[in-house]
């Protein structure tokens, strides 16, 4: 495989891992500047189709981007590929392939992926966990039950007449001694 062709509808490119894998293995990318290719393309490591945005009519956008793709293939990709030297290969093609590897391998790899997850998601989730767990999970209870009053064990049933003399498992609302109320986690 010599060219990795990817034409996602802008801005709907998913993760782009197939194009990344192709690029780090020397395959040259030709893609819409969306997702990872918008970040990875440098002008020397492949070819780019300019996205025409969501404000353009979808049929017009497809036609314009399709015409740009055909122009790139006809005027840049094919001439470069068939520009053979005395040894039967295109030196410029090999140079572009090497540029692809040199520019993509350091930037699109598992180490970067893990560090992006740690800094953008996991560390923020840990901070949020500490906020929710602090003060005997008071903030988590407020979020779960709506406000501070709803986590007060004496107000679970909507009244202030909560009997606390009985064991926790059998506490009942004083207004309705026949009904056993469900216990909320962490309450009374």
CB contact set of 176 (below 8 Å; sequence gap of 6+): 157
Q: Which of 94, 9, 1 is nearest to 19 (CA)?
A: 1
CA–CA separation, 79 and 32 (whole Å):
21
CB contact set of 98 (below 8 Å; sequence gap of 6+): 26
Count how many residues are written for the chain.
188
Residue owning tokens 């314009």: 64
pTM, to two decimals:
0.64
**pLDDT-based confidence at residue 155 (cuts at 50, 70, 90):** very low
**How far is CA 6 from its chain centroid?**
19
- Dmax (CA) for the chain in angstroms is 98
Residue 16, pLDDT > 80, answer: no
**pLDDT-based confidence at residue 17 (cuts at 50, 70, 90):** confident
What's the mean pLDDT in 56-73?
94
């Amino acid at each position: 495989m010599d060219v990795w062709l990817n034409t996602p509808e802008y801005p709907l490119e998913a993760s782009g891992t197939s194009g990344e894998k192709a690029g780090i293995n020397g395959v040259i990318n030709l893609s819409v500047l969306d997702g990872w290719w918008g970040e990875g393309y440098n002008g020397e490591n492949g070819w780019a189709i300019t996205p025409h945005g969501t404000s353009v009519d979808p049929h017009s956008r497809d036609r314009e981007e399709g015409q740009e793709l055909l122009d790139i293939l006809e005027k840049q990709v094919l001439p470069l590929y068939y520009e053979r030297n005395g040894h039967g290969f295109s030196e410029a093609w090999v140079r572009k392939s090497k540029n692809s590897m040199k520019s993509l391998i350091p930037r699109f790899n598992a180490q970067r992926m893990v560090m992006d997850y740690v800094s953008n998601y996991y560390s923020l989730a840990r901070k949020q966990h500490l906020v929710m767990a602090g003060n005997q999970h008071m903030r988590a209870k407020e979020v779960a039950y709506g406000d501070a009053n709803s986590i007060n064990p004496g107000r679970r049933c909507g009244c202030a007449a909560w009997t606390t003399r009985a064991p926790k498992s059998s506490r009942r609302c004083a207004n309705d001694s026949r009904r056993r109320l469900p216990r909320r986690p962490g309450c009374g």
